[in-house]
Amino acid sequence: MNTQHSFTTFSVEDIQSTQPAMKVGLLATVTPAGLPHVTLISSLMACGPAQMCFGQFTEGMSKKHILNNPKVGFLIMSLDKNLWRGKATYTSFAKEGQEYDFYNNIPMFRYNAYFGVHTVYYMNLVLHTGKAPLPMNKIIFAAIQTMLARTLGRKIVGKPVLNGWTRAFVDKIDNLKFLSYIGEDGYPVIIPAIQTQSLDAQHVLFSTSVYSNELEAIPAGVELAVFSMALTMEDVLLRGKYQGLRHEGGVRVGLVEVDWVYNPMPPVPGQVYPPIQIRPVTEY
């Protein structure tokens, strides 16, 4: 994350812009093993000049992670493709109050017969980048470069980590992709990398021609999460060892060797790779 122009408080405009229900909200957390994890949380918003919150209506790993490690990274993208990114520290949760009432009066929850927000989590803002537009022209160019590198790049025969559906989903140009790793200060960093595509069944790659400073600053060897999502709310989370920068097909790219795939989507979120062995129930 570029911290050259960072802010420690949200403006009134920032708060109002992050509150609509229809937006992309990503929360990056740290697993007990110290690995980056990214979750789509559309209720994520600024709820004060130096405070953020989100409402829980389904169970998930991120809520457990922040109770173990309060350091989080966040990204909010509005429908007009403006971004807010930054860091925050989890502080507390509540099952009533102003934000609880706010969430449960949103039409998506108020008129839903099956679930509502049952817990609100609060975080103190550390810093954020301020409102910044998504650079679509540069992203389109980077996607074309990545496609060229993917086509001409050296394929590596390895483990079949990415199945056909996952590869097709990651390769879809109009799906959103984001990278996350744990920074030196222990806070997760989120970087837009919409140009990301698969190289083969075990690797994904991305051109560094957009968000260049941030992408080229990712240390080789770190565990890197790759979150891919469609605006239809389908998503998949990959994670693996970052192999660093190289040239593929004449294009400067970053390469990730994926070793873990997770399906965050309901009704049954769960690990896809490595496959979990199904064991018979022996105790009742």
Domain of residue 247: give its range: 135-270
Residue 144 domain-assigned? Answer: yes
Bridge-based pairing of strands 24-30 and 36-40 is antiparallel
Task: List the end-to-end C-alpha distance of the chain, in Å, as a whole number.
Answer: 49
> 255: part of which helix (H) or strand (E)?
strand 251-263
Q: What integer pLDDT is reported at residue 110 of this predicted model?
A: 53
Residue 3 burial (CB count, 10 A): 11
Residue at a domain's end among 105, 132, 159: 132
CATH of the domain at 242: 2.30.110.10
Residues 6+ apart with CB under 8 A from 104: 110, 116, 117
- Residue 109 and residue 142 share a domain: no
Q: What integer pLDDT is reported at residue 158 of this predicted model?
A: 81
**pLDDT at residue 3 tops 60:** no
Residue at a domain's end among 100, 132, 164: 132
Residue 283 domain-assigned? Answer: no
Tokens of 154: 């050296």
**pLDDT at residue 108 tops 70:** no
Q: What integer pLDDT is reported at residue 243 of this predicted model?
A: 97
Q: How far is CA 231 from the centre of its chain?
A: 14
Band of residue 282 on the pLDDT scale cut at 50, 70, 90:
low
In the DSSP assignment, the letter for residue 103 is: H
- Residue 143 and residue 118 share a domain: no
Residue 156 domain-assigned? Answer: yes
| φ/ψ (deg, to 5) at 61 | -70, -30
- Residue 142 and residue 266 share a domain: yes
Residue at a domain's end among 132, 153, 176: 132
Band of residue 234 on the pLDDT scale cut at 50, 70, 90:
very high
Residue 123 domain-assigned? Answer: yes
- Residue 102 and residue 51 share a domain: yes
**pLDDT at residue 178 tops 90:** yes
**pLDDT at residue 67 tops 50:** yes
Contact status, residue 235 vs residue 262, Cβ threshold 8 Å: no
Q: What integer pLDDT is reported at residue 202 of this predicted model?
A: 96
Per-residue pLDDT of 22-49, as tens digits, reads: 899 999 999 999 999 999 998 999 999 9
Band of residue 281 on the pLDDT scale cut at 50, 70, 90:
low
pTM over 0.85: yes
- Residue 188 and residue 102 share a domain: no
- Residue 178 and residue 106 share a domain: no
**pLDDT at residue 8 tops 60:** yes
Q: What integer pLDDT is reported at residue 103 of this predicted model?
A: 85
> What is the rounded distance in angstroms from the CA atom of residue 154 to the CA atom of residue 129?
37
Q: Which amino acid is located at 255 in the chain?
A: L
- Residue 202 and residue 104 share a domain: no
CA dihedral 110, 229, 83, 149 (to 10 degrees): -170
- Residue 128 and residue 221 share a domain: no
CA dihedral 232, 36, 196, 86 (to 10 degrees): 80
- Residue 242 and residue 147 share a domain: yes
What is the percentage of the chain residues whose pLDDT exceeds 70?
A: 93
Counted domains in the chain = 2
Q: What integer pLDDT is reported at residue 113 of this predicted model?
A: 45
**pLDDT at residue 284 tops 70:** no
What is the percentage of the chain residues whose pLDDT exceeds 90?
A: 73
> What is the rounded distance in angstroms from the CA atom of residue 162 to the CA atom of residue 36?
19
- Calculate mean pLDDT across residues 106-125: 74
> What is the rounded distance in angstroms from the CA atom of residue 206 to the CA atom of residue 218?
12
Q: What is the mean pLDDT of the chain?
A: 91
Residue 242 domain-assigned? Answer: yes
- Residue 151 and residue 40 share a domain: no
Per-residue pLDDT of 125-142, as tens digits, reads: 999 999 999 999 999 999
**pLDDT at residue 189 tops 90:** yes
**pLDDT at residue 260 tops 90:** yes
